[in-house]
Copies of this chain bind each other. A is one copy, B any other.
Amino acid sequence: MAIGPSSRGTLSRQVLADHVYDELMVAFMDGRLEADEALNIDSLARDLEISQTPIREALARLESTGLVIRTALKGYRVAPLFSLEEVVELMNARQLIEPENAFLACSRSTDALVAQLEQTIVDLDRSSEQADSVATIRPYWQADERFHRLIAESTGNRFLLAAYTALGGHVQRFRLFGGLGVSDAGPAIAEHTRVLDAFKAGDADAARAGMDEHICGVRTRAVADAAGEH
């Protein structure tokens, strides 16, 4: 399991549950938690050296992200592996929402947003070169997530952001337990750049189309990846 004690030495006037939430998130990203693994409240409390209450709260919140599954009277587990079917479903769902997000965000884009998006692509590029294991791939996924989330946050519609967030957790799960390592980096960077170019040009329709192609690309590569594996 490998969840170490939390290093909350300083200024711990922060809610402990938030800390646990972050800690678990990092553990997910670093691949220290396997799919379907049981998440024992007692063990976690022991490992993190805090009481059960904040653990329960963090897990309850994590459940709505899809990374964690709760069975009544049985406890929490890490979400299971992604099936190919699920990957397709997830991409279909993203394809409904994210192109429109890109359209809206581009329609009301600012220089600051363009700069931020550009930064995520730089990060994506840099981290793709350095990623060579499950542990070092985290910055790559973070940059990817940040790109999509920035766009969702810039739609000016908090409910579209909520809808994206509902999918975002599952996207994380896909990244972790579904497939596509850094092998995806080349095409993904190109596709992100295409979207960014549309933002720079202020062409909202092109932004939508670019995002659509990107999601299509991810799906295609994921399916191909799964087909080439068996």
Contact = CB atoms under 8 A, between A and B. Distances in A.
Nearest to A163: B163
Contacts of A94: 159
Q: Interface extent on A, as a size class?
A: 20 to 34
A100 B53 CA distance: 41
A190 interface: no
A89 B157 contact: yes
Contacts of A129: none
Contacts of A56: 53, 56-57, 60
Given A63-B61, A163-B167, A157 B92 contact: yes
Contacts of A166: 159, 162-163, 165-166
Interface in A110-165: 156-160, 162-163, 165
Contacts of A26: none
Given A15-B72, A72-B15, A165-B166, A96 B57 contact: no
A93 B159 contact: yes
Given A13-B73, A60-B61, 13 more contacts: A15-B73, A53-B53, A57-B60, A61-B64, A64-B64, A89-B156, A89-B158, A92-B160, A93-B160, A93-B163, A159-B167, A163-B166, A165-B166
Q: Which 9 A-B pairs have the closest CB atoms?
A: A166-B166, A64-B64, A93-B159, A60-B60, A163-B163, A89-B157, A15-B72, A162-B166, A93-B160
